[in-house]
């Protein structure tokens, strides 16, 4: 029986793929041709490849109702997921089911067909191939990339600097990428993001008392405390206080001054890791991350809350302050222990907020959504408020969201004006990653927003051999450089 795994689920636990299943060859092609006068035939102009698709006939045996329901749950996805067939375990498709899936039932037997849509029309290798750079006869670091697939694929580069470095250049016959500054000198005026807070331990921050500046209806008459749960350090609700609406504890974290002695950040990036996962249906609770001015005026708030006292429905609210306060987004999710349902379960939870002038962005399930508030353009964040609360008269034992915690918070001030001598842009013992899939540069795990030089082309590796040369500042030493590809086939 053919194994079929979709989004991590083994479909053959429920169905059997029939012997007439055929994945076809390649994807649909559209030819663009033009008639020229009265001559015979047409002139060929171009060809394009559409998305791939194939139908998978199957049968169900016995227990048809439950199997149909389980299949419906697995196949109800909002975006393409990994599809792996047992006869090609080293490859996967990014697929999504198309249309209705009807099942004709006769007694204990059901017959149906799933049409899989492959938007990129390709099968991808489950193995990443690595190629280490070596010096050529001219002393230039060079990659010899061998793509044995049939499709051009993105290339990711991992570069370890043993000394300070200010520039990365990657060149091939297919294009060039440049990051940093090719003529970076010993000293210069520049702008750089500066990390001001990075903590998993919130015990040094005092519990806030008084009216909650994010929402005066959320009473602050309880306390938060540092703890450890399943090996994770967490900030948790230790005393919920009381009230008819939300009530709980709050910590206020003051933003420290930057290296230039300035307090407050007009432009900032804040990463946080929340664990919000129920253990029982009907539990309630909230975790709010709010950003305030020095006089406690709200800039924005990322609100994770569950008010559903019978089911498992939760939501994320993105609130904007300023002259026209409003809830900009209301995103629903299920606060279970299933990764596909809950972006804040034990192994997930990572989100962020970015403010750049009058634009505020929130992260939600792999995307960022922008809200424009011109009156906030010159407003500086000076404090971060963390509020964890319970609703009404409900207890914090069985009726409180079982995992209602904040685990980590990182705050960066963006575009700080500086002058520096050394170290350079990429310090000694740093790693620079040029991610070809995302077309982004990462420096020591953080996106380097301003380092990409205009005109950079994230070229791909076509089938066959591709030679790529690596350049860096003349005062640096590259400890190692590796190029990675994931082969693909139509």
**Ordered domains of the chain (ranges, CATH):** 4-125 (2.40.30.200), 129-187+422-489 (2.60.120), 197-418 (2.60.120.200)
Q: What is the pTM of this model?
A: 0.50
Higher pLDDT, 29 or 198: 198
Check residue 102 and give its pLDDT: 84
pLDDT at 87 over 50: yes
Residues pairing with 362 in the sheet: 353, 369
Cα separation, 451 vs 434, in Å, equals 11
Contact 273, 291 (CB under 8 A): no
CB 401 within 8 A of CB 387: no
What pLDDT is recorded for position 47? 47
Q: What is the mean pLDDT of the chain?
A: 91
Q: In residues, how long is the chain? A: 490
Question: Mean of the pLDDT values across residues 285-311?
Answer: 97
Q: How many CA atoms does the CB half-sphere of 457 hold within 13 Å? A: 9
Indicate the range of 193-202, 255-264, 329-338, 462-471 predicted with least confidence: 255-264
pLDDT(437) > 50: yes
Quick one: pLDDT band at residue 103, thresholds 50, 70, 90? Answer: confident
Rounded-to-10 torsion of CA 302, 362, 257, 250: 10
61: Cα separation from own chain's centroid = 39
The pLDDT score that the predictor gives to residue 39 is 63
The more confidently predicted of residues 416 and 33 is: 416
Burial of 446 (0-12, 13-18, 19+ CB in 10 A): middle
What is the C-alpha to C-alpha distance for residues 359 and 213, in angstroms, rounded to an integer?
Answer: 21
* Both tokens assigned to 450: 């301003």
> What's the CA gap between 156 and 434, in Å, rounded?
6
Asked if pLDDT for residue 356 goes beyond 50, the answer is: yes
Grade residue 422 by pLDDT with cuts at 50, 70 and 90. Answer: low
Q: Which helix (H) or strand (E) holds 48?
A: strand 43-49
Rounded Cα distance between 359 and 369, Å, is 10
Position 378 scores a pLDDT of 95
Contact between 121 and 51 under an 8 Å Cβ cutoff? The reply is: yes
CA distance 113 to 215: 52
- Please count the CA atoms within 13 angstroms of the CA of 147 that sit on its side-chain side: 24
Name which of 30-44, 153-167, 321-335 the model is least confident about.
Answer: 30-44
Asked if pLDDT for residue 329 goes beyond 70, the answer is yes
* Residue 37: predicted pLDDT: 59
Is residue 221 classed as helix, strand or coil in its secondary structure?
coil
Q: Is 387 exposed, middle or buried (0-12, 13-18, 19+ CB in 10 A)?
A: buried
More confident residue, 416 or 381: 381
What is the reported pLDDT for 1? Answer: 83
Q: Mean pLDDT lowest for which of 142-146, 178-182, 305-309?
A: 178-182
Lowest mean pLDDT among 77-81, 113-117, 211-215, 421-425: 421-425
- In this prediction, residue 415 carries a pLDDT of 87
pLDDT at 18 over 70: yes
Mean pLDDT of 166-190: 87
Mean pLDDT of 145-155: 96
Confidence at 185, pLDDT banded by 50, 70, 90: low
Average pLDDT over residues 353-359: 95
pLDDT > 80? residue 34: no
Kindly report, residue by residue over 131-146, the tens digit of the pLDDT. Answer: 999 999 999 999 999 9
pLDDT at 30: 52
Residues 115 and 117: their CA atoms lie apart, in Å, by 7
Share of the chain above pLDDT 90, in %: 79
Tell me: the pLDDT tens digits for 363-404? 999 899 999 999 999 999 999 999 999 999 999 999 999 999
Instruction: For residue 178, give the nearest of 452, 404, 363, 430 by alpha carbon.
Output: 452
Q: Residue 260 has what pLDDT? A: 84
User: For residue 183, what pLDDT is reported?
Assistant: 86
Per DSSP, 381 falls in state: B
pLDDT of 169 above 80: yes
Question: Mean per-residue pLDDT for 71-76?
Answer: 94
């Amino acid at each position: 029986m053919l194994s079929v795994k979709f989004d991590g689920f083994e479909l053959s636990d429920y169905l059997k793929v029939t012997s007439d299943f055929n994945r076809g060859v390649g994807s649909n092609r559209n030819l663009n041709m033009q008639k020229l006068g009265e001559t015979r035939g047409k002139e060929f102009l171009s060809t394009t490849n559409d998305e791939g698709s194939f139908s998978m006939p199957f049968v169900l045996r016995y227990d048809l109702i439950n199997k149909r329901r389980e299949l419906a749950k697995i196949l109800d996805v909002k975006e393409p997921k990994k599809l792996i067939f047992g006869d090609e375990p080293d490859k996967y498709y990014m697929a999504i089911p198309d249309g209705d899936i009807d099942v004709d039932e006769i007694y204990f037997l059901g017959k149906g067909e799933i049409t899989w849509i492959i938007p990129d029309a390709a099968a991808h290798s489950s193995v990443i191939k690595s190629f280490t750079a070596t010096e050529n006869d001219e002393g230039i670091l060079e990659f010899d990339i061998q793509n044995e697939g049939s499709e051009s694929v993105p290339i990711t580069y991992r570069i370890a600097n043993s000394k300070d470095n200010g520039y990365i250049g990657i060149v091939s016959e297919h294009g060039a990428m440049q990051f940093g500054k090719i003529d970076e000198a010993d000293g210069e005026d520049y702008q750089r993001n500066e990390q001001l807070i990075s903590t998993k331990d919130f015990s040094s921050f005092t519990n806030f008392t008084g009216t909650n500046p994010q929402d005066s209806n959320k009473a602050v008459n309880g306390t938060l405390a540092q703890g450890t749960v399943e090996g994770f350090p967490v900030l948790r609700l230790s005393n919920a206080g009381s009230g008819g609406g939300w009530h709980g504890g709050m910590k206020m974290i003051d933003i420290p001054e930057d290296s230039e002695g300035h307090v407050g950040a007009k432009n900032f990036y804040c990463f946080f890791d929340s664990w919000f996962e129920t253990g029982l249906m009907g539990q309630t609770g909230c975790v709010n991350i709010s950003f305030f001015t020095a006089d406690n005026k709200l800039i924005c708030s990322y609100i994770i809350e569950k008010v559903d006292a019978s089911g498992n429905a939760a939501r994320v609210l993105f609130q904007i302050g300023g002259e026209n306060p409003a809830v900009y987004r209301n995103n629903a999710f299920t606060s279970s222990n299933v990764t596909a349902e809950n972006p804040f379960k034990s192994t997930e939870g990572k989100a962020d907020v970015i403010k750049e002038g009058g634009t505020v962005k929130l992260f939600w399930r792999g995307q960022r959504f922008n809200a424009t508030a011109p009156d906030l353009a010159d407003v500086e964040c000076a404090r971060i408020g963390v509020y964890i609360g319970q609703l009404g008269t409900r207890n914090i034992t069985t009726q409180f969201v079982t995992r209602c915690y904040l685990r980590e918070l990182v705050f960066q001030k963006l575009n700080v004006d500086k002058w520096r001598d050394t170290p350079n842009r990429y310090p000694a013992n740093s790693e620079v990653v040029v991610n070809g899939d995302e077309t982004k540069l990462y420096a020591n795990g953080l996106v380097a927003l301003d380092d990409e030089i205009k005109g950079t082309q994230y070229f791909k590796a076509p089938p066959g051999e591709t030679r790529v040369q690596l350049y860096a500042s003349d005062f640096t030493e590259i400890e190692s450089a590796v190029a990675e590809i994931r082969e693909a086939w139509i």
